[in-house]
């Protein structure tokens, strides 16, 4: 636009000067003055012509650059189109091959390179199909009302090995067994306990440490019963944790149909497991709902 305006202005000036001849200035200035003036006019006309040429050249360069820019944009668009399709296809092929490998006989050979994935199956003594059991045991934690000690739940083996032992209590940090505290709220299936058991109340909790040799990642997802696409569900159940008036602990995913340690039944109250219920407020409702028992699922990939 600036170039166009400049061209128009120069055009007008040129038109005015092109008609200026010695006869126009004769009679107003001396002969010498006329000569100087005409030379100046001549030089100015020459400069204007040069500038016009330069402007025309700049117009041409601008036009060329605009065309080149348009062409580059088109090329970039084509490039993106060509690149997206193969990457998408490769991802799908990779997922398909990974599944084939994981499900093929002798797939555990690949675990030598991959390392496998481990997780605790809270509430069970056995591991899901495809997983190997590292060991099973009973659940341990701090006393439900002690301020200190550990805040996590541990899967304690049945056959502990001891180092140097000093009989009697000296250290002031303790480990207790964990039992279910259900009130009248027991969402668990009873398919893995004695038929006479109608509630898990006061039953000692068990656990198993499991390893999936053919997968390398594991995650516990709260408030879900299914795993994301391309992940394998190991087990699902309900979230449990300590009572809100007791001391803080972590949240664990307890199997949907727990087993219990029959020898450990009784209201002994070491560590205590309570079902975790949703509470609306900062938690978005109605996706969540007041008093609903939160589910959970453990997935591997």
Q: Which of residues 209 and 253 has its CB atom nearest to Ca ion in the complex?
A: 253
Give min distance, CB of 244 to Ca ion, in A.
14
Nearer to Ca ion, 166 or 267 (CB): 267
Q: State the Cα angle at 297 between 156 and 245, rounded to 5°.
A: 65
Angle between helices 31-103 and 2-18 (to 10 degrees): 160
Among 202, 247, 279, 280, binds Ca ion (CB under 5 A): 202
Span from 37-45, 80-88, 127-135, 265-273 in contact with Ca ion (CB under 5 A): 265-273
* Contact between 168 and Ca ion per CB under 5 A: no
What is the rounded distance in angstroms from the CA atom of residue 237 to the CA atom of residue 243?
19
Contact status: 184 vs Ca ion (CB under 5 A): no
Of the ranges 10-18, 197-205, 219-227, 234-242, which one interacts with Ca ion (CB under 5 A)? Answer: 197-205
Q: Is 283 helix (H, G, I), strand (E, B) or coil?
A: strand
Nearest in space to 137 (alpha carbons), one of 121, 161, 149, 148? 121
The residue range among 80-88, 91-99, 195-203, 256-264 that interacts with Ca ion, by the rule CB under 5 A, is: 195-203
Q: In whole angstroms, how close is the CB of 247 to Ca ion at the nearest point?
A: 16
* Nearest CA-CA partner of 275 in 204, 195, 188, 193: 188
Strand bridging mode 117-122 / 204-212: antiparallel
Closer residue to Ca ion, CB minimum distance, 170 or 267: 267
Nearest approach, Cβ of 299 to Ca ion (angstroms)? 25
CB of 282 to Ca ion, least distance (A): 19
* Smallest separation, CB 240 to Ca ion (Å): 13
User: What whole-number distance in Å separates Cα of residue 99 and Cα of residue 107?
Assistant: 10
Tell me the number of residues near Ca ion by CB under 5 A: 5
Binders of Ca ion in range 219-258 (CB under 5 A): none
> Of the candidates 122, 172, 156, which has an alpha carbon nearest to the alpha carbon of residue 273?
122
Cis peptide before 290 (omega within 30 of 0): no
Is residue 69 within a helix (H) or strand (E), and if so which, with residue range? helix 31-103
Does the footprint of Ca ion cover residue 267 (CB under 5 A)?
yes
Q: Which residues of the shown chain bind Ca ion in the complex (CB under 5 A)?
A: 202, 267, 269, 277, 291
């Amino acid at each position: 636009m600036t170039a166009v305006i400049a061209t128009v202005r120069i055009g007008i000036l040129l038109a005015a000067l092109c008609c200026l001849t010695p006869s126009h200035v004769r009679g107003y200035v001396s002969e010498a003055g006329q000569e100087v003036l005409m030379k100046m006019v001549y030089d100015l006309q020459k400069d204007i012509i040069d500038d016009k040429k330069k402007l025309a050249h700049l117009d041409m360069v601008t036009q060329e650059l605009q065309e080149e820019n348009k062409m580059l944009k088109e090329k970039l668009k084509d490039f993106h189109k060509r690149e997206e399709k193969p990457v998408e296809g490769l991802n799908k092929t990779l997922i398909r091959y990974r599944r084939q490998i994981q499900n093929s006989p002798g797939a555990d050979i690949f675990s030598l390179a991959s390392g496998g994935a481990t997780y605790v199956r809270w509430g069970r003594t056995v591991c899901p199909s495809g997983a190997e059991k590292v060991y099973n045991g009973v659940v341990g934690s701090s006393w439900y009302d002690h301020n200190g000690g550990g805040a996590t739940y541990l899967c304690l083996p049945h056959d502990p090995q001891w180092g140097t032992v000093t009989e009697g209590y000296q250290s002031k940090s303790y480990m207790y067994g964990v039992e279910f505290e259900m009130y009248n709220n027991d969402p668990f299936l009873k398919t893995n306990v004695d038929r006479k058991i109608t509630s898990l109340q006061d039953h000692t909790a068990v656990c198993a440490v499991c390893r999936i040799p053919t997968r390398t990642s594991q995650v516990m997802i709260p408030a879900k019963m299914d795993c994301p696409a391309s992940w394998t569900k190991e087990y699902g159940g309900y979230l449990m944790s300590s009572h809100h008036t007791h001391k803080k602990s972590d949240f664990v995913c307890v199997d949907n149909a727990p087993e219990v340690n029959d020898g450990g039944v009784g209201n002994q109250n070491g560590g205590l497991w309570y079902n975790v219920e949703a509470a609306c407020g900062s938690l978005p409702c109605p996706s969540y709902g007041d008093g609903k028992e939160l589910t959970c699922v453990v997935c591997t990939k």
